[in-house]
Structure 1
Amino acid sequence: MNEINVIKVCSKITSKNQITIPKIVREFLEVKSADTIEWKIEPNGKVVIAKSKADLWQIINEQEKEFGNLSTAGVDWEKDLESEDFD
């Protein structure tokens, strides 16, 4: 018989109705500051928390912060590729 290891951790709700996600949960979900988590409430009263999948614009905004955009001065975008470059 397989025994499932269950880890139980608690968080306290602050006066502003905020909680801190315990480190072990953050590591398990692989979330960091500014990530979004999803709360799913099931009919049986169980609440499931999961890391939300990043949307396209969130990814673009993060990459723009790191790499700049087409109008960022000093970015060398290299030469444009032409169709004959793919022969």
Structure 2
Amino acid sequence: MTAMASVISKITAKNQVTVPKQVRQALGLKEHDQLRWIAKDDGSIEVKKANNNDFWGVVMEQQRRYGSINTPEPAWGPDVGGEVID
């Protein structure tokens, strides 16, 4: 992506930001796409289009948000019998 003119956005009272048209076009964004915000050590922020097809990225995000799925399986008791399928 080539450098573009500086564009300013305003944060609303609900902490929402409109992504400027030039940025949406440069990133190929469309409605319902997600952005990944990366805070760097030098104080700058990198914004990328999130790769929603990244299965393990989604898994890690869900684990970060909701906790680990590594829980013991519940004990349902001894087996009663076999399954009968008609």
- TM-score tier after normalising by the smaller chain length: 0.5 to 0.7
- Report % sequence identity: 35
May I ask how many residue pairs the two structures share in their alignment?
54
What are the ranges of 5 or more consecutive residues in structure 1 without an aligned counterpart?
A: 58-87
Structure 1 stretches of 4+ with a deviation exceeding 3 A read: none
Secondary structure at the aligned position of 1:26 is classed as: helix
TM-score for the superposition, normalised by structure 1: 0.56
Question: Post-superposition shift, 1:7?
Answer: 1.8
Question: Post-superposition shift, 1:56?
Answer: 5.9
Task: State the match for 1:8 in structure 2.
Answer: 6
TM-score for the superposition, normalised by structure 2: 0.57
Partners of 1:8 and 1:25 lie apart in 2 by 10
Deviation string, structure 1 residues 52-76 (Cα, Å, up to 9, x no partner)? 112267xxxxxxxxxxxxxxxxxxx
Partners of 2:9 and 2:51 lie apart in 1 by 24
Of residues 41, 44, 55, the one that matches 1:43 is 41
Secondary structure at the aligned position of 1:55 is classed as: coil
Of residues 12, 21, 27, the one that matches 2:19 is 21
Question: Post-superposition shift, 1:35?
Answer: 0.4
Greater share of residues in helix: 1
